[in-house]
Structure 1
Amino acid sequence: MKTSHSSKISSLVLASILIGLGLVSPAFAGFRSFIVDPNSKMVADIGSLGGIDAYGRGINDAGQIVGWSRTPEGNTHAFITGPKGEGMVDLGTLGGSDSWAYGVNATGQVVGRSLIAGDGSYHAFITGPNGIGMTDLGTLGGSNSWAHAINASGQAAGISLTTGDNSSHAFITGQGGVNMTDLGTLGGDYSAAHGINEAGRAVGDSFISNGSQHAFITGPNGVDMADINTLGGETFANGINSTGRTVGQSDSHAFITGPNGSGMTDLGTLGGDESVAFGINDAGQVVGSAQVAGTPQSPQGDMHAFSTAPDGVGMSDLNLLAALPGGFLSEANGINNSGLVVANGFVAPIPEPASSALMIAGLVLLGVIMQGKKQLT
């Protein structure tokens, strides 16, 4: 369950990433995280760590949500909530000023990244059950690492710089987060893992020998990285369920595959040009963000959170299923097996001109970062 890695995604989705990176003031962005039940039409703000913003990234079957939020001091800290998104707890850091949480398993073990002492580098971390205790997972020899996902046995998956910081490779750990293993690439000098299922099958994206970016899936326990088919253009895999059905983005459209990454189905959009899938549950319900049709006020169309029925059938605007008063849900990052969704949205007025300029500058900076083939994004 993760943020897309395509530079073609709408600026609204990129803005939410910038908030997490601290490049846009949350006071201007008005970005919050919600737990959503499309069946009951319930939408509940999960709160914050004392600052104005929060960003939800992962959800488990108990409804525990993880992500990051501003503290009263202005830092960004990883958090976990209690069941059904209630009660946010600060997970702390590995000694640095900031941390971010990306994935959570059934027992509440959390993975993410944290700045280490001195704030010169960030390392992947894993916690114990219910977010207790934060352990440094180390790196593949380089200065930085980042864990995106975790399965029930505590296998973590992510990305790390390799020795000399010359390339970034996907990794998987053993059970309990021990023994980080390099998954290699599809032929280029970059790969990143963004999802992992209970069998230890990891999915993500990698450069191939000609420099294009393709989605990959591995066998159990991260063995044998294989290229996933595309819809044309570059492809990114963001999530995987227990049967190996994979979701992500290909040629600017969200997709779902069959079991074990076989085949690829275009999920379409909400009337605009783009969409990206971030999460999937065991029934094949998919969530993500999709562009709606443009209007005179917004010719390019906003990005709205979406969800589907089982097997990826029928993309629906989450705002029509569970409306957010005074704002809109721009993206849905995860869905559990009960159908509860973690989503993020804008709840404040449009930024003033000065803050808009800052957001635009931040988007340009992020675009530059995302173009770097040998750096962690």
Structure 2
Amino acid sequence: MTEKLLGAKNFIVVLSTIAIASISPISNAGWIITSIGRIPGYLGSATGINDLGQVVGYSFDHTTRFGSFHAFTTGPNGKDVSIPDILGGESTYISSINNSGQMVGSTSTDNRATQVFFFDAFITGANGIGITRLEATDGARLFPVAINDSGQVVGSSDDPRTGEDHAFITGPNGAGLTYLESPDGVPISVTGINNFGQVIGYSYPSNGPSYAFITGPNGVGFNYLESLVGSTIMPRAVNNSGEIVGGFHTPGSPFHSFITGINGIGFSSLVLPPEGSYGSYAYDINDLGDVVGVMHTEDLLSRSAFFYSQGVTTNLSLLPSVIAGGWTDLNPRAINNFGQIVGFGTNGSDQFPSPFLLTYVTEPLEQNPEMEIPLPEPGTLLLTSLGLLGFRFRHRKHRYLTKGRRSRQP
């Protein structure tokens, strides 16, 4: 870790502390949940949200020949849903969005004559305007999974001619592409990147457990995380301090969500609501250290969403607004620095999951009949959350998503 990077991180921490300390507690605060809207197809979910509240996601239509994804995007605060036409693809998936509104993902077309899928990876310009193909010089197919604010993209490649896969990182705005390798030659898969270019992911040896790793800035350097002996660790997200969240399990035990310290140092199991939980997995963390994830009941028939902030865990599925809105089986996927949470859940009698936006508001809900969302400053959530303790507990079919043997998370 360079002194410049450490200095920048310390500066961010200082600024965050000042911002949090200067905000007064707000009364009459609460959570509201809104449906992002019915997207053509079924099984809809949001996959990412930036600090403007711009949301990206997909629906999956299982009635088509091979199944197809329909990507969607929104304007600020989850409004104005649109379905982009990207490179003429029949099936499009957007995996991540940054704070400029740049988006990355992949699109495919089914050549029915040859029964071959053609894949194109892409990156957009700011606010989704302009589309550029992401290409590997060796002709491998690329599957982007995350983008940071400078437009560095990470993901995996798949060479259909050789069957080899690699993890990759690009330069700013998707320019240039470098394959990442582990020092011991074990294959790796990447799952996230922060604004310093620190990349996280996991190894998948031919036998034995998976080990999580974090790199230095711009994907340089490689460090395995401290872990429990014999445990399989699947990291999911990293913030700008290098705190990592995800899930781990040891043989014979369920997944447990975890969080690390700065730069991936230290390893702690997240606090869970008590009994009746089969296992949990943390999906995202913001720069304030707020974490969202999911926990499954013992029979695996239902799930609850959790929000973890400063040692307090809240069962989001038990929020009054969630219950009143008829939402069940919430599964959060991302959180921004304003505490806005997106994911999917079941709404009322609708049998198919649909995307939601859960927002912490700073004014009484009855004063917002049009759902104009007054956002708190970053950090407000940490202060006002203490007042909520009364009800808190906190691809190979489409290889892109599950990546075959790697899909071990719940």
> Normalised by the shorter chain, which TM-score bucket?
0.7 to 0.9
1:135, CA displacement in angstroms? Answer: 1.9
Contact 2:396 2:403 in 1 (8 A): no
1:343, CA displacement in angstroms? Answer: 2.2
The number of equivalent residue pairs is: 318
Q: 2:90 aligns with which of 91, 94, 97?
A: 97
**Does 1:177 find its partner at 2:177?**
no
The residue type equivalent to 2:30 in the other structure is S
Could you report, residue by residue, the CA deviation over 1:290-334 in whole angstroms, capped at 9, with x for unpaired residues? 124x4xxxx445222211114xx2322111234153331431111
Contact 1:140 1:160 in 2 (8 A): no
Q: Secondary structure at the match of 2:99?
A: coil
- Paired position in structure 2 for 1:275: 280
Map 1:123-138 → 2, pairs under 5 A: 123-138=120-135
CA distance in 2, matches of 1:373, 1:266: 22
**Does 1:288 find its partner at 2:331?**
no
Identity among equivalent positions (%) equals 35
CA distance in 2, matches of 1:230, 1:114: 36
**Does 1:344 find its partner at 2:340?**
no
The residue type equivalent to 1:286 in the other structure is V
- Paired position in structure 2 for 1:309: 309
- Paired position in structure 2 for 1:242: 240
CA distance in 2, matches of 1:136, 1:216: 28
The residue type equivalent to 1:323 in the other structure is V
Q: Secondary structure at the match of 1:263?
A: coil
Greater than 6 Å deviation, 4+ residue runs: 362-366
CA distance in 1, matches of 2:264, 2:168: 19
Could you report, residue by residue, the CA deviation over 1:69-97 in whole angstroms, capped at 9, with x for unpaired residues? 368x9752222110011111222233331
**Does 1:265 find its partner at 2:265?**
no
- Paired position in structure 2 for 1:166: 163
CA distance in 1, matches of 2:244, 2:167: 17
Q: Secondary structure at the match of 1:76?
A: strand
The residue type equivalent to 2:266 in the other structure is G
The residue type equivalent to 1:56 in the other structure is A
Contact 1:245 1:261 in 2 (8 A): yes
CA distance in 2, matches of 1:317, 1:96: 39
Map 1:139-150 → 2, pairs under 5 A: 139=136, 141=138, 143-150=140-147
CA distance in 1, matches of 2:146, 2:403: 20
Map 1:72-87 → 2, pairs under 5 A: 75-87=68-80
Contact 2:396 2:404 in 1 (8 A): no
Contact 1:328 1:347 in 2 (8 A): yes
Distance 1:350 1:244, change over 3 A: same
- Paired position in structure 1 for 2:383: none
- Paired position in structure 2 for 1:62: 52
The residue type equivalent to 1:342 in the other structure is V
Map 1:4-83 → 2, pairs under 5 A: 40-51=30-41, 53-69=43-59, 75-83=68-76
CA distance in 2, matches of 1:225, 1:107: 28
CA distance in 1, matches of 2:130, 2:257: 36
The residue type equivalent to 2:99 in the other structure is A
1:237, CA displacement in angstroms? Answer: 1.0
1:224, CA displacement in angstroms? Answer: 1.5
CA distance in 2, matches of 1:116, 1:348: 34
More deviation in 234-243 or 324-333? 324-333
Q: 2:189 aligns with which of 180, 188, 192?
A: 192
CA distance in 2, matches of 1:185, 1:143: 19
Q: Secondary structure at the match of 2:241?
A: coil
Contact 1:124 1:139 in 2 (8 A): no
Contact 1:124 1:147 in 2 (8 A): yes
More deviation in 59-68 or 318-327? 318-327
Contact 2:53 2:77 in 1 (8 A): yes
Q: Secondary structure at the match of 2:86?
A: coil
Distance 1:123 1:205, change over 3 A: farther
Distance 1:163 1:98, change over 3 A: closer
Contact 1:183 1:222 in 2 (8 A): yes
The residue type equivalent to 1:213 in the other structure is S
1:228, CA displacement in angstroms? Answer: 1.3
- Paired position in structure 2 for 1:359: none
More deviation in 167-176 or 205-214? 205-214
Contact 1:93 1:115 in 2 (8 A): no
Distance 1:100 1:365, change over 3 A: closer
